[in-house]
Amino acid sequence: MAQICIHRSGPLTLVQDCGRYGLQALGIPTAGAADAFSYRLGNRLLGNPDGAAALEYWILGPEVEAIDEPVRLALAAGGGTLMRVDGTRTVLSPWRTVTLLPGDRLALGPTVGGAVGYACFAGGIDVPVVMGSRSTYARAKLGGFAGRSLKTGDVLPVGVAVDVAGMDRALPEVPVDGEGAFRVLLGPQDDHFDAEGVSRFFAETYKISPQSDRMGKRLIGGTPLTFAEGFGADIASDGMVHGAIQVPGSGEPIVMLCDRATVGGYAKIGAVISADLPRFARLKPMTEVCFAPVSVAEAEAAARAFEARLSGFAAMAVTLD
């Protein structure tokens, strides 16, 4: 089995797959790739299943080396510099695959178009499956590689050997997964906010707080939301979905992401729809955002359009000379 060695880890590099589902009733968060669009498209460039484990990195990627056998990987949402054993160096753009021979190194990053990038490997990263997933939930030291972010010197197995005579592939244009206001379904506690508070949420332009992470992104810069008479921020804790928008007593919303807790005790004004979550997750601190309400039917149509867009871009890949 092929292996890669980490020579520079970057600020935060984690093994992630599509997530750990069916265990939230037991208090186990889903984790998984923050930007499902880039992660899945990177895997499709390689012919992997959508759920193959990859390296997720934030802002700046790691430097990886193929150790004993050739390794093929896809650069998703971030480029890199290829350093061959013979001393040649090549700058690579995002959205292509590259084959590393033993001893070759690839320095990944910085990310392009957002805060998160992916290095997907042919066959996936072959760390143990823990509770049905290879994803890392670092807060509980669960899954991934020893339950933590990667460090210099770590060696990871890659799931399949590759044919060095095989051709690399690339996308002919930069993929996008939507633009404009982030769409929101109201509920389940939108009735805890007065009419002015709900209207203000959709009228405000917020910024992403630097105090944001894989658990959630805090929104700052807007007028604090106000609650209806007889209601406040606190509720009996209930289930937390991906994209839920919690509003604590400060009135400043928090959009919950893949490392969110399974339940929460703050009122939730709504949830960012699934089709917009990958784009939201990759936002950098201090990026301006706004929101727009949609119906359930519109959210379902957006989910179908998201899948069609993903498949369309994957089908565009061309073979490199």
User: For residue range 117-154, what is the model confidence (pLDDT) as tens digits?
Assistant: 999 999 999 999 999 999 999 999 999 999 999 999 99
Q: Taking Cα atoms as reference points, which of 96, 13, 87 lies closest to residue 56?
A: 13
The answer to whether residues 188 and 119 belong to one domain is no
Q: Which among 137, 170, 203 is the end of a domain?
A: 170
Mean pLDDT of 80-84: 96
Q: Which among 170, 204, 227 is the end of a domain?
A: 170
Question: For all residues of the chain together, what is the average pLDDT?
Answer: 96
Is residue 297's pLDDT more than 90?
A: yes
Is residue 5's pLDDT more than 80?
A: yes
pLDDT value at position 164? 81
Check which CATH number belongs to the domain holding 205 and give it.
Answer: 2.40.100.10
The answer to whether residues 73 and 105 belong to one domain is yes
Residue 182: count other Cβ atoms within 10 Å of its Cβ: 21
The answer to whether residues 21 and 115 belong to one domain is yes
The answer to whether residues 267 and 158 belong to one domain is no
Q: What are phi and psi of 90, to 5 degrees?
A: -135, 130
300-316 per-position pLDDT tens digit: 999 999 999 999 999 99
Query: Rounded to an integer, what distance in angstroms lies between the CA atom of residue 186 and that of residue 170?
Result: 39
Is residue 62's pLDDT more than 90?
A: yes
320, part of any domain: no
The answer to whether residues 226 and 204 belong to one domain is yes
Greater pLDDT, 321 or 105: 105
The answer to whether residues 207 and 287 belong to one domain is yes
The answer to whether residues 135 and 276 belong to one domain is no
* Model confidence band, residue 248 (pLDDT cutoffs 50, 70, 90): very high
The answer to whether residues 186 and 165 belong to one domain is no
175, part of any domain: no
The answer to whether residues 132 and 190 belong to one domain is no
The answer to whether residues 139 and 270 belong to one domain is no
Query: Rounded to an integer, what distance in angstroms lies between the CA atom of residue 107 and that of residue 217?
Result: 28
The answer to whether residues 102 and 124 belong to one domain is yes
176, part of any domain: no
316, part of any domain: no
319, part of any domain: no
The domain in which residue 281 lies consists of 182-309
230, part of any domain: yes
Is residue 1's pLDDT more than 90?
A: no
Considering the chain, what percentage of its residues have pLDDT values greater than 90? 94
Query: Rounded to an integer, what distance in angstroms lies between the CA atom of residue 199 and that of residue 87?
Result: 60
Mean pLDDT of 48-65: 97
Is residue 276's pLDDT more than 90?
A: yes
pLDDT value at position 11? 94
Domain count along the chain: 2
Q: Which among 170, 193, 209 is the end of a domain?
A: 170
pLDDT value at position 318? 96
315, part of any domain: no
Contacts of 25 (CB under 8 A, 6+ apart): 262
199, part of any domain: yes
